[in-house]
Structure 1
């Protein structure tokens, strides 16, 4: 049967609304935790699991993406993920207790964790290798808008309407994405009923990732890495992931996640830098709203609005970074973007309560511009030189690196902020914390020199030189009619 070509425009129409729902939800709920604790008559320590449970579920399901794509195809995988997220959203809106809300949030997280790598895989398989930057710029749009608009939307909902609308706002986005997927995505299911699911690998890596994320999430609560609630899950997570790595590298069959991709120096450098980008982006996004609230005296909504210029900067660089990295390779764009991010964070490290907010807004625009020049070429660079069948594995590894990098960054900066604040006050604490962010960005700058300067000359694209309807098993689909 001939397959209809799958274009980036189609993917954008179908998937960006769904991904926006996931990223909005991640940031919106964080603002509403105190309201949820009050409305559901539950301690804040319990309500924190509304966020923690969601993030753990999101991280745990990422490793099965490759198997799911082989088993049911891209269209069904996306619709399954979208349905899980939709049901979790509706359930959360109707939640009658803290326990029920946490349960529905776990269901949401399972859907969201599948959506992100599925979209990434389908996008890079729909373009030739020289179009990876353009593909990445398309799929990065929700990641740019989510952290910026989420806090603003969350503040408006919490202040003006019921907390239940935090979850109802997802429903039209999910329904739209489901209908468009049903109408526009090709039926790409391949006869892979026997697609092998590595159950032993799954039993090692998914709990391992969850344990790591949980341990890192507890760092801020206990103000350090030495508490048993932090040490034990992190050690367990490292042991499980290490055991999975040994097994995967020795496996003669296709493992759940193919770690042999780390033999490619470009993929390794890109993935390590994506870990640091998670630190630089998500760690700093934890600190900056607190800075505007605790040092500048703004409420949560105003803090969200004050962070909007960073999103504007990212939007400005998004398309340029994608097109130019396709043409010239990722090294100097990532290198330059990281330098820009480091320099534009310096005003925050030097600021005090009297520093002009116009100056800080300008710094945020520049910082966002630099971030756009980092993340997009990095994700595109991670797929350079890989075969089509490697794309799902690359998506799993890059998403996991960003997820753990963000959790690690948030944990380290939370400890630095808490300990410095106790010793020298909030203004000095934020200055020190921003210097830590700059230091980690500087480490990433050094790693960036290992990225390639130019794309490969050979036309051996991840998805073939034609737009294709994502067949993930490794064999090329039939050419579309008329070719």
Structure 2
């Protein structure tokens, strides 16, 4: 009697030791941590960079916003590039580009060169998270999607937690340059592990790039962010140098939307947003991420500028928020299969908004750190249970062959509005400081550095009021996110959608998006 040969055995020894989805997720987490870390690590260095380069807050803010804007600019092309070149290959290229930008940023000689190298970082980093989601959505077996996505969400824990702590320590004790140079050995490790554990995929040679759409969307987003930032720096949104970019950016984005609705090969598939889970998730992310990530710029500045703390101390004081965020993310990722995203995200958005309210009402020049940290715990609990469960709901609500398109769309929304939020926070804070501290004029934070120590101490209560006023917008935006959260899938809808993300059993495991599959959506 002949014993049948199993498919696993016939694939040879390499197939018998093929890494499972957990190993894949862990490598993806390591790569995503770097990108998340570099979105927060610079926040505690804004004060030092402003001093070292004699730059205004509006200029230094571009070290953060330029990075975030580059993230958003490259995300639209990720879905096409993943199909054209393969998700594994593109992920490793993106990590290498990020590492190159990190190395160059660590050697920057002025604020302009630092901004330029941060943009290069962002061009690589922008592809990392959507590609990681794509790889994981395709590797996740039924019933484990929420848990594996929560593992990927560890980057959101480690980034905000380690970013301020590590950045503060390096700024105070070593040099801000090592905030970027430390990425280099991690990049090498991710490259080696990724080559070994990521499943092989086959590129889809027939995928076409919507070049006109790309040329409309990326410059449009850049112009809008520039207009918002320039308006805050000049204190006048009606000047030609501000109004022009705003109008041009709006026109380009509107042109992109019009083209997307008529193109045979759109850069971002518009049919995705006809699916309620994707549309609701996009709305939640647009509102919540603007307020949540924009406030990340304000927190370390408050502790350093108003309270006179070091960068290390500012990072430590922000740790409760990050720890609560990561803890709640892991819990919510495991509960999403039992409760469903609608209940979890709705409660989480309410919790975060209440945390922002409690933090803002306490904000003063001598507020209790215990009270402030308690409010930050609520913000973190809400934030951790909002972001990744929302992205998971969107991914589970689309067919498996649209995994790259869904992850690209939700990451584009999240990254773009995070850049808008950071720019808006800088604009509002600079305007609030200038209005309350006449000696600062229109220079905001840079002029405050030039004040004598006694004058800075005397201005602390007024500055605290400026920060308190700026935090109001975070309260409003996170509260508004509750409305679209009510349209996320219930538990039964979520579980039915998750069944469409079962792993592909074909050799190579990289499904192609066909015309028929697009029409079916």
Alignment TM-score > 0.5, same fold: yes
Q: After superposing the two structures, state which structure 1 stretch, 423-432 or 61-70, moved more.
A: 423-432
Residues 1:441 and 1:459: Cα distance change in structure 2 (over 3 Å): closer
Q: Is the Cα–Cα contact under 8 Å of residues 25 and 148 in structure 2 kept in the other structure?
A: no
* In 2, Cα distance between equivalents of 1:421 and 1:212: 24
Q: After superposing the two structures, state which structure 1 stretch, 420-429 or 337-346, moved more.
A: 420-429
**1:395 partnered with 2:434:** no
Paired residues in the alignment total 473
Q: Is the Cα–Cα contact under 8 Å of residues 127 and 461 in structure 1 kept in the other structure?
A: no
Alignment of 1:31-180 (within 5 A): 31-33=44-46, 35=48, 49-96=62-109, 100-128=113-141, 130-180=143-193
Residues 1:223 and 1:338: Cα distance change in structure 2 (over 3 Å): farther
* In 2, Cα distance between equivalents of 1:8 and 1:230: 48
**1:464 partnered with 2:510:** no
**1:307 partnered with 2:318:** yes
1:474 alignment partner in structure 2? 513
Q: After superposing the two structures, state which structure 1 stretch, 308-317 or 414-423, moved more.
A: 414-423
1:210 alignment partner in structure 2? 222
Residues 1:32 and 1:420: Cα distance change in structure 2 (over 3 Å): closer
* In 2, Cα distance between equivalents of 1:435 and 1:107: 33
* In 1, Cα distance between equivalents of 2:128 and 2:298: 27
* In 2, Cα distance between equivalents of 1:259 and 1:136: 24
Shift of 1:380: 1.0
* Aligned match for 1:365, one of 370, 377, 402: 377
Shift of 1:217: 3.5
Task: Output one character per residue of 1:340-379: Cα deviation in whole Å (capped at 9) or x when no partner.
Answer: 1122222222213333211221221222111111112211
1:478 alignment partner in structure 2? none
Task: Output one character per residue of 1:234-255: Cα deviation in whole Å (capped at 9) or x when no partner.
Answer: 3222211221121111123x31
Residues 1:373 and 1:55: Cα distance change in structure 2 (over 3 Å): closer
2:478 alignment partner in structure 1? 441
What SS class does the counterpart of residue 450 from structure 1 fall into? coil
What SS class does the counterpart of residue 202 from structure 1 fall into? helix
* In 1, Cα distance between equivalents of 2:291 and 2:67: 22
Alignment of 1:258-407 (within 5 A): 258-351=269-362, 352-407=364-419
Shift of 1:10: 2.1
1:193 alignment partner in structure 2? 205
- Computing the radius of gyration from Cα coordinates, the structure with the larger value is 2
Shift of 1:291: 2.4
* In 2, Cα distance between equivalents of 1:7 and 1:334: 29
1:481 alignment partner in structure 2? none
Q: Is the Cα–Cα contact under 8 Å of residues 47 and 98 in structure 1 kept in the other structure?
A: yes
* In 2, Cα distance between equivalents of 1:238 and 1:128: 41
* In 1, Cα distance between equivalents of 2:463 and 2:110: 35
* In 2, Cα distance between equivalents of 1:357 and 1:50: 29
Q: Is the Cα–Cα contact under 8 Å of residues 40 and 160 in structure 2 kept in the other structure?
A: yes
**1:255 partnered with 2:255:** no
* Aligned match for 1:432, one of 453, 469, 479: 469
**1:20 partnered with 2:33:** yes
Q: Is the Cα–Cα contact under 8 Å of residues 138 and 503 in structure 2 kept in the other structure?
A: no
**1:235 partnered with 2:247:** yes
* In 1, Cα distance between equivalents of 2:52 and 2:464: 33
Shift of 1:460: 6.2
* In 2, Cα distance between equivalents of 1:297 and 1:36: 16
